[in-house]
Amino acid sequence: MNQLLKYTALIKQKATELGFSYCGIAKAEILNEDAKRLEAWLNKNLHGKMQYMENHFDLRIDPTKLVPGAKSVITVLQNYYPEQKQAANTPHIAKYAFGKDYHDVIRAKLKQLLQILNEEIGAIDGRGFVDSAPVLERSWAVKTGAGWIGRNGNLINKQSGSFYFIATLIVDIELLYDDPFAKDYCGSCRKCIDACPTEAIEPNKQINGSKCISYFTIELKDAIIPEEMKGRFNDWMFGCDVCQDVCPWNRFSKPNDERLFNPIPEILNFTKNQWMNISEDTFKNIFRDSPLKRSKYAGIQRNLKFIEIK
């Protein structure tokens, strides 16, 4: 027990030193209940054209399929709430995309954490995952005590809201496990449901991904967005934060202290006209390390046709 306590304390200490705002640990096990919910969601085709959600179902629910002999799942949270805001009358971009691509930033930190553990504890087999592999991050976050899943589908932390990234490190050593988060503090609030411009949030805590602005502006690779969505994006050009902006729990959000998430100046200040007149080469140069590269130049130009600047 003393050794488990020592290793667990070491992991949480090092996670804090690396800049993570939360670190919790759960026992690696098959996510049977989450598997049922995911399967039902997929069967309703609420993922739209995100076919990748259908892939590797068994890997999503069983951590030992990703790390043989897995015993523990470590969840860390990385705050991305920005101190700066976009200028008035600019095409809106989700706050998570203001700075450098979080995949690169957090993946490097997870790699560093695993290296530290190997040096301090001994040979550990493990893999880090950042939103780009078949891992149910939010389910593990709840199991590690990080918070609850709100009506908007986001993990909400009682102390700091929901503006953070969730990352997972699966390892093959036993540790002391945190209690899962057992309560739901959304109560009767439906601010996110009522505020969603495309009615993508359903009352039963189910998100219709195929109606979400983030889906249309980032995930959908079609050259044309369905005409019936015209006028429903408001001023959101890349992603959408409406359901988080109206969430009462985000009154506790504090600016992040990760310099790599400092906003790219153009994101804060470019007008719609400047976005529409930027060349593809300039776009690639300015946003080469930005999440915006996921939509590519053509996708950004496509999205601009659907927004309304007030």
Sheet strand arrangement including 164-171: 22-27, 72-79, 164-171, 126-129
In eight-state DSSP terms, residue 198 is: T
- Integer Cα distance of 207 and 153 in angstroms: 6
Whether the CB-CB separation of 93 and 266 falls below 8 Å is answered with no
d(CA 233, CA 180): 36
What are the phi and psi torsion angles at 75 (to 5°)?
-110, 130
Kindly give the pairing relationship between strand 206-207 and strand 236-238: unpaired
Helices (H) and strands (E) in the chain, counts: 12, 10
Say if residue 268 is exposed, middle or buried (CB neighbours under 10 Å; 0-12, 13-18, 19+).
middle
Distance CA 154, CA 269 (A): 28
Distance from C-alpha of 26 to C-alpha of 174, rounded to nearest angstrom: 10
Annotated catalytic residues are: 131
